[in-house]
Structure 1
Amino acid sequence: MSQLEQIIKTFSNYAWGLPLVILLIGGGLYLLILSKFLPFRFIGHAIQVLRGRYDDPNDPGQISHFKALTTALSSTIGMGNIAGVAVAISVGGPGAMFWMWISAVVGMSTKFFTSTLAIMYRGKDSKGDLQGGPMYFIIEGLGKHWKPLAIMFSFFGMIGALPVVNVNQLTQAINDIILIPNGVTVGLKSNLIIAFVLVSLTSVIILGGLQRISNAASKMVPSMVLLYFVLVLFILISNYDVVPKYFLMIFTDAFSAENFKESPVLGGVLGGLILYGIRRGAFSNEAGIGTAPMAHGAAKTDEPVREGLVAMLGPAIDTLVVCTLTALAILVTGVWETTSDNGVSLTASAFSHTIPVYGKYLLMVCVAIFSISSLFSYAYYGTKCLSFLIGADKKHYYNYIYILSIILAATTPFSVMLNLIDGTFALMAIPTMVATIIMAPRVVKEIKEYRKRLNQTN
């Protein structure tokens, strides 16, 4: 296992080299400038679209704008926000959060462009059903000779959609928060029981298809964000005297990199911290990776720009709000310096510090909802990728691979799972970003046309 762990870590570090960071962050900045900072100028309009002001049941697609966003968010608001942020701070210190913010701001623009393209260039699967996502906008927008990029995205998308990090951290949380403190011996047997329960829950939802997934996500996502927000707000109010100190430290440490524990990059620890923060940010909000456009591509709309505007709210909610809450909870309680915990266990320590008896159990509720809702969306993404590769009539086979991966993830070390998904996400980002940058001028043209139509109707 240690040899396999080293191979996967090397693969992940190689995939997340400087070229990918330039593609994700440099590409995102290019899109931001090209759109003249449209994502930030149209936030009010995006919220109106999300609230259903422009919904038309006769538009092509399968689900509403709101359900498309909550389906996309149910995958991104997951362990990246609880375990991922904890890993970022334990390895990179407070400054890692700053670089996660940068990835989110840039990611808002990236999500706008990728999800607009997902509607502009929807394709049809082998059954003739309308579908959206990077594999379809690559083929429909760039032509059949670009199909290798679409195949690359779909192949790595099937691996990237496996719920291994969520399941692994949910298992760790159940062990550390519930079983071990109550004297239960944890091991392979207990982990397999947890896996079996998760398989049962997940199967009921994912075998029901997109409608059942989106219905579950639209109910779970808003409630889990609200509950988590209230709990962290209580922690921050209880430690209000040190909140300004640690909030400022996020900025100062971002450039001093005093708490960074990994290898330097480009000859310095600052380079290593920037790369690590961006990597954790990408894991959290998935901007530029290409998963969200698969959900947004199913939205009922004939206005691509509207869905792009809804999609761009994702990184703002995910990283700028939820991840920041987790980071501040870990920092103000001091557990990042006083314990050797990592992942979800570090966040649990922060909750127990301020809410001694019930804190870790309340976090457990959040972790369970975060994780289980993520399981639903990722299954949808994986079936779409397999459908593109071998046909819509065979896409259900992915569900069986998916269910097996839940058992694997519950019994495998966290670092192996995290590095595997990190590396796979990197290889999904290449086709997504290359195609998006090439077609970006077409999106800008669509923005101008949309604004004309909007002005005529107002």
Structure 2
Amino acid sequence: MKELEKIFVAFSDAAWGMPLLILLMGGGFYFMFYSGFLPFRYLRHAINVLRGRYDDPNDPGDINHFEALSAALAATVGMGNISGVAVAIAIGGPGVLFWMWVSAFVGMATKFFTCTLSVMYRGYDSKGHLEGGPMYVITEGLGKKWKPLAAFFAIAGLFGTLPIFQANQLTQVIREVVLEPNGLSTADPFYTNLIIGLALVFITSLVIFGGIQRIGHVAGKMVPGMVVLYMLAVFYIMFAYYTNIPDAFALIFKDAFTASSVLGGAVGAIIIAGARRAAFSNEAGIGTASMMHGAAKTDEPVREGLVAMMGPFIDTIVVCTLTGLAIILTGTWQTSGASGVTMTATAFNNAMPGFGSYVLVVCVLIFAFTSLFSYSYYGTKCFSFLFGAKYKHLYNYFYVVTIVFGATATITAVIALIDGMYAMMAIPTMVSALLLSPKVMAAAKDYFKRMKTFREEQAEQIASERLKA
């Protein structure tokens, strides 16, 4: 197991070098300026689309705009926000949060382009069902000669979307916060992890074998509640430590450009750490969310791009910041030798002695399970693209088996494998989005021109009706 862990770590470190950072961050900045800061200018319209104002049940697709965003957030607003942020701060110090914010802001533009393309260039699987995602964007938008790049994405997606990180951290928090303090754990932690892993397999199977409609329905019900619950818990911590808030933000900004807390001045390393964790958190430029948004019921690609761009803001700017503040305000990042979800649990318990860690457990259960449900959909789409739609159900069996591996493996091995595969997925996603970006802008100009004409016609009709009255 140790040798396998070393291989995964070496693979991840090699993948997340400066070239990938330039592709993700540089590409995001390019999208932001090329679009004229479109994600921020049309935020109000995006909210109206999300509210269902433009929904048409007869449009092609499987789920509505709200369910698409909820299901995508169910995958992104998960353990990456609770455990991933703790890992990032443990490695790079508080300043890593700043670079996560930067990644999220440019990620909004990236999400707009990649998810607009996922609807614009939907394709059909071997059963004739309409599908979206980077592999279809590549083959339908760039042409069949680019299919090897699409297959590369799908192969990386088979492993990058495995539930091993969620299973690992959920198992850790259940064992260390709930079972061990109450004397309910076995003498050997491995067997406790194995039992928890098998229980996760059973619960996850009940949902994922129901398909995307059930996943979208469950996510739509659970995601809003889980975000609100987590926000209330951290707001309590912020209120309890309100005098430390100015110093916390000052530390974040200072450390972002000095990396003096942990990395000894290696600013480049802290930027990479922030980009890695932001990518793991909000998946902007990775391509997973594009697969979910590609299933939205719409014949207007730009609308789904507008909905998708809200994901990085909710996920990273809001939820990840809350986790980071809880850890920094309580001083846990300096006093706790724990890592991952245990560090976050310690922060909650420091602020809410006796019950704080249990509040986090409830949040973790919801966060982790919604991620476990949604990730299976991504993997089945990749499997279907490679081997045919009639075999895609076979991936779910492989998927649930790996939950046991995630529950019993080390967090280092798990994070390294997922990080490395995310890096591989980002290459075809970003390359295709950059090459097809003029198509997105042409579609956006046409869409907003039509929306402007529509609003003017509505205004004229209202004015005419008033005159008649």
Fold shared by both chains (TM-score > 0.5): yes
> Which residue, 235, 238, 244 being the options, matches 2:237?
235
2:303 counterpart residue number? 306
Deviation of residue 6 (structure 1)? 1.3
> Which residue, 383, 386, 394 being the options, matches 2:383?
386
1:336 counterpart residue number? 333
- The 5-angstrom pairing of residues 112-191 of structure 1 reads 112-186=112-186, 187-191=189-193
1:404 counterpart residue number? 401
1:215 aligns with 2:217: yes
Deviation of residue 247 (structure 1)? 1.3
Normalising by the residue count of structure 1, what TM-score does the alignment of the two structures yield? 0.98
SS at match of 1:84: helix
SS at match of 2:242: coil
- How far apart, CA to CA, are the structure 2 residues paired with 1:122 and 1:283? 25
Deviation of residue 260 (structure 1)? 2.6
The structure with more radius of gyration: 2
Paired residue type of 1:295: M
- The 5-angstrom pairing of residues 58-69 of structure 1 reads 58-69=58-69
2:200 counterpart residue number? 198
- How far apart, CA to CA, are the structure 2 residues paired with 1:244 and 1:176? 32
RMSD of aligned alpha carbons? 0.8
Deviation of residue 184 (structure 1)? 2.8
- How far apart, CA to CA, are the structure 1 residues paired with 2:125 and 2:185? 48
1:444 counterpart residue number? 441
Deviation of residue 192 (structure 1)? 1.6
Deviation of residue 321 (structure 1)? 0.0
2:356 counterpart residue number? 359
- How far apart, CA to CA, are the structure 1 residues paired with 2:373 and 2:91? 30
1:433 counterpart residue number? 430
Paired residue type of 1:303: E
2:31 counterpart residue number? 31
Does structure 2 retain, via aligned residues, the 8 Å contact 1:118–1:133? Answer: yes
- Deviation string 1:302-326 (CA, Å, 9 cap, x unpaired) is 1100000000000000000000000
1:415 aligns with 2:438: no
1:86 counterpart residue number? 86
1:77 counterpart residue number? 77
Structure 1 portions without partners, runs of 5+: none
Deviation of residue 455 (structure 1)? 1.0
Paired residue type of 2:225: S
> Which residue, 250, 253, 261 being the options, matches 1:251?
253
SS at match of 1:256: coil
1:109 aligns with 2:74: no
SS at match of 1:282: helix
2:20 counterpart residue number? 20
Does structure 2 retain, via aligned residues, the 8 Å contact 1:69–1:311? Answer: yes
- Deviation string 1:58-78 (CA, Å, 9 cap, x unpaired) is 111110000000000000001
- The 5-angstrom pairing of residues 2-21 of structure 1 reads 2-21=2-21
Paired residue type of 2:253: F
SS at match of 1:299: coil
1:316 counterpart residue number? 313
Does structure 2 retain, via aligned residues, the 8 Å contact 1:260–1:269? Answer: no
- How far apart, CA to CA, are the structure 1 residues paired with 2:446 and 2:383? 35
Normalising by the residue count of structure 2, what TM-score does the alignment of the two structures yield? 0.96
- Deviation string 1:210-256 (CA, Å, 9 cap, x unpaired) is 00000000001000000000000000000001011101211111001
Does structure 2 retain, via aligned residues, the 8 Å contact 1:260–1:273? Answer: no
Paired residue type of 1:404: V
Query: Following TM superposition, where does structure 1 have runs of at least 4 consecutive aligned residues deviating by more than 2 angstroms?
Result: none
Paired residue type of 1:141: G
Paired residue type of 1:107: G
Identical amino acids, percent of aligned pairs: 58
